[in-house]
Every structure is written in structure tokens, then in C-alpha cells.
Amino acid sequence: MANADCIVIQGSNMAECHPVGYQWVAEAKARGAKVIHVDPRFTRTSAVSDKHIPIRAGSDVVLLGALINYVIANDLWFEEYVTAYTNAATLVHDDYRDAEDLGGLFSGFDPEKGAYDTSSWAYAEKDDGKIEEPGPGSEHGAEASERAAGDTLGSGGPALEHPHVQRDETLQDPRTVFQIVKRHYARYTAEMVQDMCGISIADFEYLARTITENSGRDRTTCFAYAVGWTQHSLGTQFIRAAAILQLLLGNVGRPGGGIMALRGHASIQGSTDIPTLFNLLPGYLPVPSAGRHDTLKDYLDIIGSKKQKGFWANADAYTISLLKAWWGDAATANNDWAYDYLPRLTGAHGTYETVMAMLRDEVEGYFLLGQNPAVGSAHGRMQRMGMSHLKWLVVRDLNLIESATWWKDGPEIDSGELRTEDIETEVFFMPAATHVEKAGSFTQTQRLLQWRHQAVAPPGECQSELQFFHELGKRIRAKLAGSQDERDRPLLDLTWDYPVDEHGDPDAEAVLAEINGRHLDGPDAGKPLSAYTEMRADGSTAAGCWIYTGVYAGGINHAANRKPGQEQGPAASEWGWAWPANRRILYNRASADPAGKPWSERKKYIWWDQEQGKWVGDDVPDFPEDRAPGSQPDPSVGGPAALTGDDPFIMQADGKGWLFAPRGVMDGPLPTHYEAQESPVANALYPQQQNPARLVFPRADNLSAPSAGTPGAEVYPFVFTTYRLTEHHTAGGMSRWLPYLSELQPEMFCEVSPELAAERGLEPYGWATIISPRSAIEAKVLVTDRMAPLKVGGHTVHQIGLPYHWGVGNSAVVSGDAANDLLGVTLDPNVQIQESKVASCDIRPGRRPRGKELQALVAEYQDRAGLTVETGNRAVTDPAAEGIEAGPRGDGSTDGGPN
Amino acid sequence: MAPRSFLQWPVVRQLSTGDLLGRGPAVTSARTKAITPRTATADRVVQSVCPYCAVGCGQRVYVKDEKVIQIEGDPDSPISRGRLCPKGSASEQLVNSPGRQTKVLYRAPRSTEWEHLDLDTAIDMVADRFIESRRRTWQQEDDQGRLLRRTMGIASLGGATLDNEENYLIKKLFTAAGAVQTENQARI
């Protein structure tokens, strides 16, 4: 970001939430870079930007689509980059029909399943065929959504059968991706932005002009986002839209370019790479699904074709090395490397599904490991009610968070819905070690692993998770020792002997070494692997997470590298270790032109050195080191060897950056604007109101407000959005127990405009009650011009800002109502993230009712709006307008019918 | 009380110490002079990383008598260059907060209160419950005879605040046990 000429921050309040990272934005600005903040609220970030552009929450695809349209219509795209490095020239199959032609739906929509059959979006093959996904048959979007298959794209694109695409380098064929993109966004105009986002034409033109003037050979623009983009029912598409724009402008793989995901937890990147997620194995390998990945051969055929280009063609080596790391000698060629030791998925098993399964009494035990869902997850009431159905709950945390104490002081005890004496759940609170009381690595938001050394021993009975889980595993294995039951083999055969210190704490470096991997055979047997390219599919290597291989190369913990920043260059490659291969900018081959020369002296980064016959520069080249720029290998060789000299996107099956996604995205190959699940605005672009493929849960405890134009919408007339403050951390488990931070931000509040305060009689610093279809909460009123009412579609839209750090309980230094109690559960179909950045509510002066009266108030609103479990949950808004027969949503959701 | 010498007059002190603006040695009291920062007397300094957001600011942890006495920004970090935000600056209190729980607590079914349980007993009870729940809720195959090899009776949530090595052991153990419902903040 420090190298950017223009920085657009959208969907993030970076100066507030990542203040120390923001110094690099400030530095770029001091050098003359333009900083533009697009956000519903005027925040601390807006205050230190060149310009703040207020936007209606949830309308970002309209704005980004209009920028794409502006760039194409005014011929401002980076022609040489786009033609060579993206799939702009690739032909899409004739069967494809765009949302422009079908009233907002793409071809292949299945109203029964509420999901797409994505096969018509495929690339065209010679002789009228389609380039399918590898392996037997193609996966329906409904199944892909259930296993949140989008998550598997964390380190590269979806697999293709083969890379023999057809291209028209002139980009004129109407079936080229370029022409399709051009047509798709033609109606996303400045006027549409004005009508849908509430952004003036002058502000739009300023934004469009600034980013295009700061893109090209000599200049680069960077985007930064956070959960303001991800927490939507089409969040994945917000980010895809920015990716299309950045590819068209040539801002990917270059210094000062890219799209920065600003993540909010110390190792949330690490917990995605080494995933405590239901659908992933380490390194973005999918957890097998029954019926799709029944045998190792099926699994390997599907996740990466040997015929496709790039490094995902070697997924067999990554998978088998993982199985060898976990099951050692028990993993042999004869038993398919213990592939059948892996459990199988049969649908959606994400965190919200799990809570609904708790309510059905299907879950007996639950571990909470440094997470506070009673406050931090959407629909707090459902979270707490779910936990009350458990047989046992283990909460491992530093403090007595609300998720540990809901049984005695939660909101449902006050409302009378739960009675402590009736709750059967056993609760274990186990104190955890802090970050200085254990050694280990965090992976921060730029994929950089940084080691922490242990400073002191944990106090009292506090333990690290490493120690607790190592010990738990040992005891489970000891109790099962001698079992002849086949189901216990994976536990008993597990490699689980880590050296421990005098306190019984396992050596975290030994675990890191296992993650890195080692040679098992040959002259190097026992030695750490240096790079994932050394992995083999014959059982001669073991590694716990292939993308992290190299962090322990040479037996040295490179995450602990600490050469002071002032003693090294801007890439600072000797501080910590970035995956993959200590590379700081991904796809950096794109920082040079097709001939291998830097696009400009000013933006020089990686280039081809003809004399040495290799790529050189300021970073580790993200390309086969000796692959010359003009290389045209036979594509049928497959894998990395098939990459041409101008295929910079080495983890993509065709080596190109995807403007159009022929596979992998469940709700459309191109981002398309849909309104949120709950919106007071009708979609002006299409008859289709909401994302047709979003995951809905029609249940009596998860009602939705009616959308604009349907009866009852006026009962919840305002939009609310949730956010963070500098002084607190998510659900407060690490901040509301600290006196310093509690004093700095003691109280829950809501931000409202002076106009809304006048309309509803809200007194500054008085109380307000905010009511959604799920709950009602109270907050102190902050009246501020920072919340500007927007003119949208001819009427005024008021937005309310709610920080979400507080919760109801008696243990924290400060407590208060939880904003997340207002939210329902509607999910993005690619990654199953909930829509929590935009929803509908009402607001009125005064405190909320206590006891049973609280539920009565919520019910009174529900009745007045005429809410049913069907409200807002239709997949297709207007079947006639979209020319298809709409069925009930039914099993389009992953949960089933009404509760 | 001894008469004050003119040499102690502020203006003389300012001139004689070179502290012309009177913001340094000229106005430093004897008591202040005798104070040294906690960081100067620490037994050791340990390099660490801030536990809050994902920027990954460098921290220096000052330890004396096996207690953390201060946490400051690490000027060597090319990411943070010594800076910390209010949360990172308060992280000493995360370690030493008086409200921090250091004992295992247990709430029995229908009970209205916590009771203390020793750590060893607690881990053993959790291991027993894990095994029992797994056995009760085991699914070997689906209705079409396809392998499932799992339990849907045990779930977990958390990991984004934990170390890579910890996430690795959690994922490894839960996968081997067939407990597929491991999730964390990345889904949220």
C-alpha cells in the first residue's frame, strides 16, 4: 500500500480498525497518493482521506460495476496487460446466457434447488464442446454451496479439465469474455450509481477519474476492504467485482496494486490456511464429500487435473504428503495412504448449521476456543438457545465471556425463555494462556508468519490450546487403547508424539516442523523439505500444510527471522516468512510486460534477466524461475511445465486472471447487483430483488423484514450496519475485561443523523431502542452528521450505525446490549458468511422493555409487518419477469422447512 | 529550612543546563531523576506479536521476576515500526488483568453456581464425554452405503485468535476423531 498512487478503502474503516497498518496509507498520502474512502459512515478513516464518498450499505456492486463500465466505455483499460494476462480473449460457450437477458438470473438457475447448474458458463472447446471440470460429472451449485466450495479457492483458482481454450486476441468475437463483460455492465452507469448508491454524479466521476489516472504503466491503484465487503449475501461478488476492475486496470501482481483484505484477528489468515473450518484440510484441500470424493482417485481427479496448467496439477503430492504427516506408517500405497481415515461431508456443516443442529438436539458437545458466539455471531439469541440444548460445553478463554455465563446471566434468563435450574448443559470453563505465555506463530493479513517466543509460563491452571489438545488427544488415545473397533483406527494410528517441556507443554517448533514437512526416504530422509515443489505423490514426503513448506527449510524456524526492518529493503524478506516460498507479492510475474521488461522504471519489481536466463528482482519471483517470456510449451504437458511465458497466474488452471469465472463461483460468473435479504430499496437493475442463490433459513426464529414494495416493509424502515471501534476487539473477550479499554469506550451506542433523530424524537445521549424482526436492543444515542441520510430511488434512506462489542453478562468491566442479537442468518452461497453489514430495523426513543415484555415488543412488530417464515425468502422474486417457473424455496436452503 | 541559593533560581538553572525552554533538566525534580522506567530494570525482553488484529505489530515483552511488567511496540518490526494501537498498548493488562480467570470452573446440570474443579479431573471428564458422545452419535455410512466415518455430535468454534500450531493440532485431532464441525471466525 505504501507504493500505491491511489488507495480506495471500501468496506473497511482501516484507520480505526487497523490503525498501525494505516501508517502505510498515511505514508503513501504524504508522498502524494490519493486516498478515497467509500463507506456509509464518515469515520476516522474518512477524516484522514482526501475524500469520503458516502454509500448506501450493500450497493457496492452497482458502484464497482459502474467503474468497470466507465473503464471499458472510455477505453481506459490496460490493453496489453488485459489481452495477455487475463481471460479477456477466451471464448465462452454458446449456451451461456447473461443476467442482462434473463431479468437478473444467469443461465442454469434451478428454482427447485435455489441454486445454479453452472455448466453453461463454461469456456468453449473446439468443435462446440465445453471445458468441464475434471473428474466424473459436474457438481451442482447447490452441493457446492453446501460445502462452501468457494473456500477451497484460497490459494488458486478452480480446476479445469484441460487448458485448451479458444481465444480471439482481437477481443471482438461476441463470445469473448471481454465482450460479455462489456455488455453485462453497460447499464451500470453514473446515473444508476446516483439512484442506487446515493452517490452524486460528481463524486462518481471524481472516483472514476482518480483511479484511472492512477493506473497504467507508471502508476498503480490499490483497493482495501474488510468485512464491510464479506458480510453480505453476495459478499464474494463484491470482491470479485473489485478484482475485475483491478485486472482491467492492470493493478494485480504489481507494487502498489492489488486488493488488500484487512483481516481482524491475529491469525485469522492462519486459521484459514491451516483451517479449523469444516470444509477444508490444510492448504485449501477440500474435506472429501460422500458421493463425490468416495475414493482417493475420485478426489485427486477432481481437485486438480494433471492436464491443467499451474501448480494445482500437483495436488496429489500435497494430499498424500498430508496423509503421511497425519498417519505415518499406517498410510501406505495399499490403503490409498489412509484416505478412508478422513471423515466425509454430506452437506452444509458450517457454524450456523451447527447451531441449528444444536436446537434439534443433534449436537452433544461443543468447544469454544477463544471465541464468543453469544455476542460475536449473528443472531445471538439463536446461539444462546442452541447452547442450552447441549449436553456439555467447554469454554476455553482468558475471561468469563458471555458464552460461558449465558446460563446464569444471559438475556434469555431475564426474558424468562430459559430458567437456570432447568438447563441441563454441563459447562467447563478452562482458563487459557495469553499470547506471551506460549510460543507459536500467527499468520497476519499479508500471509506473513511471525513467531512469538514464550515470555513467561501461564499462571495457575491456564494452558495453551497446544497443551490442552495434545493432552486431550493423549487421554482419548489412552482410553481407546486396545480398541478393536475399526472407527478408532484413525485416532490410534495418528502421529501424536510431540516433545514436551517440564510443564508438559509441547514444543511448538516440533509442530511447525511437521507442518513444513520432511523427506521420508532416500539420502535426505528426515531432512525438512525446502519447498513444496519437493513433494512427491509416492509417500516419500510428509507435510502438514503444503503452502507453508519452506517455513522450516534447513531446519531453521524462518517465522522467527527478525532482521530489523531498518536494515533491509522495502520487501523486508528477512522478517518472518510469507507463504508461499517467502513471496511478498503474489503473481508478481505480472509486474513485467509480456516480454519480461518492467512496465515502467517507476513500478519495477520482477523482470527477466536475459544473461542469467532467469527472473530476478526485489522479491521471490512467482513464476518458474527459468521460464523465458516467449516460451510456448505444448499445453498438453500439463502442470507448471505447461505455463507459457506470459501466464502470470500460476495457480489458475489456464494461467490467466479471470474477469469471467467459468467455474468456482456459485452465484454467477460475473458480479451482479442484488439487494440485501432485507432492504427498503427495490432493485432498479433487474426484476430480481435478492441474490437468487443466497442461502436462506426459513424458520420461525429467523424471520426477515419484507423488502421494498412488499407489504410490511414500512414497519422496519431503516437500514442498520454494524462495526468496530479501535478500543475494542470483536465480541469484547479481549477488551471489555481490560480496565483501560473499558474506560476508553464504556458504553454501547448507536449513531444516527440529526434528521433521523428529529424524525423519531431521539435525544442526544439519551436511550434508544432498535427493533429488528429477531430482537430489540437498547443503546445510547449519538446524533452526528457523520451519518448522512442518502437520497436513493427518489426517497430518503436513513442508516444507523451500531458497534457490536458489548454483550449482556455480569463478568466484564463493561457490558451492554449486543448488536448481533438484531441480525438474522442469511448466508453467501460461496463461503457461507452471514449478511451482517446491512439489515432493516426501526428505532424509537427510550430503553427497551425488560422481562417478557421484550419478546412481546418484538412480536408486536412482527405481527404488524405480517411476517411469516416465507417473508423475504423466495429465491426468484418475479418468475414471470424472469421467464421461469418458481417453486417454493424448500430445500434450496440447506436446513429444510420451517422450524 | 535552609535559605535558597540564587543558583537554584529557575532562570539560572535554565541557563546553566542549556535547557533554555525549561522543559528538561532545569525543571526535573530530584524524585523524577531517581526514577527509571520499568523497562530498564527488566530481567529480559522477549520478542512477540500483538494478539488483536491481523496487522501483526511487533511487541517487546519486558519480564521481571517471571512476571510481565510491560509490553511495548517493537521498533525493529518493518510492519509496525514500534507503534501499537490502544489495544496493543493495553495488552500488558490482558496478561495481568485482575479479572482474569486462572482456575478451572465447572457448572453441573441445573446448577445455579460455578464450582472449582482441578485441571486434571476436568481434562479427564472432557475426554470421557468426547468419547461417549462420539460413540453415541457415530455415523459409519450414509443411507446409500457410502462411507461417512464421522460424528455430528461434537463441534468446535474458534481458531482465529490461536496459533497456527494450535489450529493444526485441533484440526488433526478432530479430523481423526471424525468430528467435522470445526469452525472459526473466518466463517463470520
* Residue from the list B95, B181, B186 with its beta carbon closest to the beta carbon of A436: B95
* Residue from the list B55, B106, B125 with its beta carbon closest to the beta carbon of A444: B55
- Nearest residue to A573 (alpha-carbon basis) of A508, A617, A625, A610: A617
| Per-residue model confidence as pLDDT tens digits over A206-234 | 999 999 999 999 999 999 999 999 999 99
Containing A790, the helix (H) or strand (E) segment is: strand A790-792
What distance in Å separates residue B7's CA from the closest CA in chain A?
A: 43
Per-residue pLDDT at A883:
57
| Per-residue model confidence as pLDDT tens digits over A789-816 | 999 988 999 999 999 999 999 999 999 9
* Residue from the list A20, A490, A508 with its beta carbon closest to the beta carbon of B57: A20
CB contact under 8 A, A470 and B146: no
Give the span between the Cα atoms of A786 and A556, in whole angstroms. Answer: 51
Q: Please give the full DSSP string across A137-158, using - where no structure is assigned.
A: S---HHHHHHTTGGGGGTTS--
Q: What is the mean pLDDT of residues B108-131?
A: 98
CB contact under 8 A, A436 and B48: yes
Determine the residue of chain B that is closest to A387 in CA distance.
Answer: B155
pTM of the model: 0.95
ipTM score of complex: 0.96
Q: Please give the full DSSP string across A166-220, using - where no structure is assigned.
A: -B-TT--STTBHHHHHHHHTTT--HHHHHHHH---HHHHHHHHHHHHHT-SSS--
* Residue from the list A459, A487, A512 with its beta carbon closest to the beta carbon of B165: A512
Whether A106 contacts A141, CB under 8 Å: no
- Enumerate the residues of chain A whose CB falls inside 8 A of the CB of residue B113: 408
Determine the residue of chain B that is closest to A545 in CA distance.
Answer: B168
CB contact under 8 A, B164 and A548: yes
Interface of B with A in 5-64 (CB under 8 A): 46-58, 61, 63
3-state secondary structure at position B73: strand
Per-residue pLDDT at B21:
87
Q: How confident is the model at residue B28 (pLDDT cuts 50, 70, 90)?
A: confident
Per-residue pLDDT at A898:
32
N- to C-terminal Cα separation, chain A: 48
- Nearest residue to A551 (alpha-carbon basis) of A520, A569, A530: A530
Whether A386 contacts A358, CB under 8 Å: yes
- Enumerate the residues of chain A whose CB falls inside 8 A of the CB of residue B168: 274, 282, 511, 514-515, 544-545
Q: In Å, how far from its chain's centre is CA A65? A: 20
Q: Is B147 on the interface with A (CB under 8 A)?
A: yes
Give the span between the Cα atoms of B186 and A828, in whole angstroms. Answer: 13
* Residue from the list A148, A267, A740 with its beta carbon closest to the beta carbon of B93: A740
CB contact under 8 A, B164 and A274: yes
Per-residue pLDDT at A882:
66
- How many residues does the structure list for chain A? 899
| Per-residue model confidence as pLDDT tens digits over A294-307 | 999 999 999 988 99
CA torsion angle for A887, A891, A894, A897 (degrees, to 10)?
100
Side-chain half-sphere exposure of A213, counting CA atoms within 13 A: 8
- Enumerate the residues of chain B whose CB falls inside 8 A of the CB of residue A477: none
Give the span between the Cα atoms of B103 and A182, in whole angstroms. Answer: 62
Q: Which residues of A760-795 are buried (b: 16+ CB within 10 A; e: fewer)?
A: bebeeeebbbbbbbbbbbbbbbbbbebbbbbebbee
Task: Match 490410534 to its residue by C-alpha cell.
Answer: A492
Per-residue pLDDT at B105:
98
Maximal CA-CA distance, chain A: 80
- Enumerate the residues of chain B whose CB falls inside 8 A of the CB of residue A740: 86, 90, 93
CB contact under 8 A, B107 and A461: no
Give the span between the Cα atoms of A439 and A467, in whole angstroms. Answer: 11
What distance in Å separates residue B38's CA from the closest CA in chain A?
A: 16
In angstroms and rounded to an integer, the radius of gyration of the C-alpha atoms of chain A is: 27
DSSP-derived pairing of the beta strands B44-49 and A839-845: unpaired
Per-residue pLDDT at A894:
36
* Residue from the list A431, A442, A473 with its beta carbon closest to the beta carbon of B173: A473
Which three cell numbers, joined as nine digits, stand for B111? 446448577
Determine the residue of chain B that is closest to A442 in CA distance.
Answer: B163
Per-residue pLDDT at A154:
86
| Per-residue model confidence as pLDDT tens digits over A662-686 | 999 999 999 999 999 999 999 999 9
Interface of A with B in 373-432 (CB under 8 A): 373, 376-378, 391-392, 394, 396-400, 407-408, 420-431
Q: Is A525 on the interface with B (CB under 8 A)?
A: no
- Which residues are bridge partners to A444 per DSSP? none
| Per-residue model confidence as pLDDT tens digits over A592-625 | 999 999 999 999 999 999 999 999 999 999 999 9
Helices (H) and strands (E) in chain B, counts: 6, 8
Containing A771, the helix (H) or strand (E) segment is: strand A767-771
Which segments in chain A show pLDDT lower than 70?
Answer: 882-899
